[in-house]
Amino acid sequence: MAELLKKLQDEMKAAMKSGDKEKLSTIRMLISEIKKVQIDQKKELSDDEIIAVIQRYAKQRKESIKQYREAGREDLAQKEEKELQIVQQFLPQPLTEEEIEKIVEETIKELNASSMKDMGKVMKAVMEKVKGRAEGAVVSSIVKSKLS
């Protein structure tokens, strides 16, 4: 069993014991998302694959928060924010923009990239290095600014 899945299950048990209903329901949702992907792919997921599932779940929470705020439903937005905070505990620490810039610069040198034509291969290499620790949109804007 993947280490992260075990950690999630341990946290779920702790939430049950402490009576933390929000944390319990959020972790249950995460575990069910992971199990769904495992069933779809017919295999146990690695920690990296579980992180990808959790990131998708976190991204959905962020989109929901935005939509609820636009619709004037602050109560629902706050509920989603609490869920997002719980979910983020299980994700790797995100990189700062400076750290991402440094990785992008190193990758551009490694690949001898010089123009926007190289953006695809630079993005692919950088996303591999920052796996789970940076959003694609942030990386993309930094790569564009360095290559243009």
pLDDT in tens, the chain (148 residues): 688 899 999 999 999 999 999 999 999 999 999 999 999 999 998 888 898 899 899 999 999 999 999 999 999 999 999 999 999 999 888 888 889 989 988 888 888 888 888 888 888 888 888 877 888 888 888 888 888 8
Q: What is the dihedral of CA 69, 70, 73, 79, to 10 degrees?
A: -30
The CATH code of the domain at 97-147 is 1.10.10.410
Rounded Cα–Cα distance for residues 145 and 138 (Å): 11
Residues of the chain with CATH 1.10.10.410: 97-147
Q: Do 34 and 53 contact (CB within 8 A), yes or no?
A: yes
The CATH code of the domain at 3-88 is 1.10.1510.10
* Residue 87: per-residue pLDDT: 92
Q: What is the pTM of this model?
A: 0.74
